[in-house]
Amino acid sequence: MNTIVRRQPVSSGQVFSISYRVLIREISTVGRLVGTGVIGVVAILIGWAVGAGSDSDDRIEVAAQVVSNMGLVLVVPIVSLVFASVVLSEMNEDGTLVYLWLRPMDRAPIVLGGLAAALSLVLPLIVIPVVGAALAAGADSATALAALLSSLLGGVVYGAVFGLLSLVVKRSILWGMAYILIWEGVVASIGTIPSRLSLRGYTRSILTNVSGMDLGFDPVSTPVCIVVLVAVAVVATVLASVRLNHLDVA
Amino acid sequence: MSGSAGPAAAIEVVNASKAFGDVIAVSDLTFSVGPGVTALLGPNGAGKSTLFRMLCGLTPPTAGTVRVLGADARHDREVRGRIGMVSQQDALFDRLKALEFVTVAASTQGVTDGPGAARRALELVQLDPDESRPLSAFSKGMRQRVKVAAAVVHDPEVLVLDEPLSGLDPVQRRRMTELFHGLGAEGRCVLVSSHVLEEVARLGSRVVVIAQGRLVASGDYRELRALMDDRPRRIRVGVDSPRAFAAALVESGTAVGVSVGASSLIVDTLDAVALSRELAPLALRLRARLERVIPMDDDLESVFRYLVERR
């Protein structure tokens, strides 16, 4: 160790860049990519089958229903959960988080790098199947655009929320599934207030508003949806940064 | 090293405790460590890793204070850059190559020439920087050396190394021990944990011994060794005439206590070497068949038990 090692402060941009590069390689396992890829292919096939089995007059509405009931209910939250819930928590469980945590640098960019890594995988894996399923079912351009916007925003907000969840609880996959299936699947359908407390209500509202289809519920306006979803994503990311600072690191 | 913090102490632990629910991992530890190599000795489950995690700020103490270079690594960003840690966890970023991994370590420490520093660190632990295999293909010993390279790549003042010699072959153990001594001789504080007595003997003369989360002994290794040599030893002797053997051993004064079984006796002695020399001639004299001689308390646990009990 006779060579002089020159050092300088690590900028937030460097922390983000390093975290992103390391984390995207860590979470992009073959199993996860194949599993979520299969979900996407199945979604497109179901969209095609449902569209093929419906009257040509109803196909646009059917396509919107496919996006709403399959894309936004299952594909978007589940694929987001698979990647976002492991990005930092898995590192803490296996002991590799220390290689980013015990460093003379800000920890907030680590969370941002992790979120960006998760979203880099999640967004293609949800947007392509959801829009693909819509088109396969017979969607027009407005419905396809609605599918694009709602799945894109959904992916970002679910990614941020599940990323936070993974730093707060153990077995975050199970908690995330409980949220998707029990809260959003059952409780949120009981009334307006629970519906306003579920992310799905906002993504479906965007789909309804942009496509112009009546999906059988009272949608929230698009600007409100965007503000709420972006705010939830920002708050979740900030809380995840705070949580990372106070984490017990293995 | 001393019981109280001195001005040159790089590591200061004062009344530190750590509990996980009802489990107390570390209890009221106080010690300080200065420059040079110091061995932290303790059996598995003694609280060594928890102590190291507290030193590096990975987990806060439940009570007391833990300082490295006068600061709390959990909250002081600057001091984190002056610590190098080898954790006990085997996990690495397995998809990276060794050079990439150590370069990441250098970059996150703000080293300006990350790849260059990473190459030098890997060469220091005698690994090929151009190794093409990912870390997932590395042996346990190679992974340990990668961890050490990542810990020293930024030229830290304090090294906290949790069982860094585990998984290494004898040659690599010796080389790694020389490396630690070299780093200590340069004035760095090198704290190395181990649960193997012989490793500690090679690591250096200064030791901190903990068991069940408590400080058992600290000071010079030779003093500790003398303590262990002075303790009574318990040895099981398998023989076909245990009563006659027991009487002869008590008569000779070699045994300070004997309990006799059907085909063996358990001997307490203050001089195990003298006992071992006496057994064969005694068997000849008594025309007895000596079947086996088994030390019953040579393991590390019994050493700690002895040290704890005599405090």
pLDDT by residue for chain B (311 residues), tens only, comes to 444 444 468 999 999 999 999 999 999 999 999 999 999 988 888 899 999 999 999 999 999 999 999 999 999 999 999 999 999 999 999 999 999 999 999 999 999 999 999 999 999 999 999 999 999 999 999 999 999 999 999 999 999 999 999 989 989 999 999 999 999 999 999 999 988 777 877 887 788 989 889 998 888 877 776 666 666 778 899 999 899 999 999 988 888 889 998 889 999 888 877 888 889 999 999 999 998 888 776 555 566 666 666 55
pLDDT of residue B42: 86
Give the pair of three-digit tokens for residue A44: 């497109």
**Contact residues, chain B to chain A, C-beta under 8 Å:** 53, 56-59, 73, 77-78, 80-81, 83, 85, 87, 89-93, 95-96, 104-105, 107-113, 117, 120, 124, 150, 152-155, 182-183, 186
Cα of A5 to nearest chain B Cα, Å: 6
How confident is the model over A23-74, as pLDDT tens digits? 999 999 999 999 999 999 999 999 999 999 988 888 999 999 999 999 999 9
Cβ–Cβ of B93/A94 closer than 8 Å? no
Which residue of chain B has the CA closest to A250? B58
pLDDT of residue B6: 45
Which residue of chain B has the CA closest to A94? B91
- Within A107-219, strands assigned E span none
pLDDT of residue B4: 43
Q: CB–CB of B141/B168 below 8 Å? A: yes
Q: CB–CB of B218/B208 below 8 Å? A: yes
> Which helix (H) or strand (E) is B39 found in, with range?
strand B36-41
pLDDT of residue B307: 66
In the Cβ-directed half-sphere of B52, how many Cα atoms lie within 13 Å?
Answer: 31
Burial class of residue B89 in the structure, from the number of CB atoms within 10 Å of its CB (0-12 exposed, 13-18 middle, 19+ buried) = middle
Cα of A213 to nearest chain B Cα, Å: 46
In the Cβ-directed half-sphere of A129, how many Cα atoms lie within 13 Å?
Answer: 25
Which residue of chain A has the CA closest to B73? A102
How confident is the model over A136-178, as pLDDT tens digits? 999 999 999 999 999 999 999 999 999 999 999 989 999 999 9
Q: CB–CB of A151/A130 below 8 Å? A: yes
Q: Which positions in chain A touch B182 (Cβ < 8 Å)?
A: 1
Cβ–Cβ of B89/A1 closer than 8 Å? no
Angle at A95 between CA A89 and CA A97, to 5 degrees: 60
Cα of B68 to nearest chain A Cα, Å: 13
Give the pair of three-digit tokens for residue A222: 């698009």
Which residue of chain B has the CA closest to A18? B104
Distances (CA, A) of B207 to A175, B28, B152: 46, 18, 22
Spatial separation of the C-alpha atoms in residues B180 and B175, rounded to whole Å: 9
Nearest to A1 among B95, B111, B183 (CB): B183
Which of A1, A16, A246 has the highest number of chain B CBs within 10 A, making it the mutation to test binding with B? A1
Cβ–Cβ of B111/A6 closer than 8 Å? yes
Cα of A83 to nearest chain B Cα, Å: 17
Whether the complex's predicted ipTM is more than 0.90 is answered with no
Cα of A155 to nearest chain B Cα, Å: 26
> Would strands B63-68 and B36-41 be described as parallel, antiparallel, or unpaired?
unpaired
How many residue contacts between A and B have a Cβ separation below 8 Å?
Answer: 94
Cβ–Cβ of A1/B152 closer than 8 Å? yes
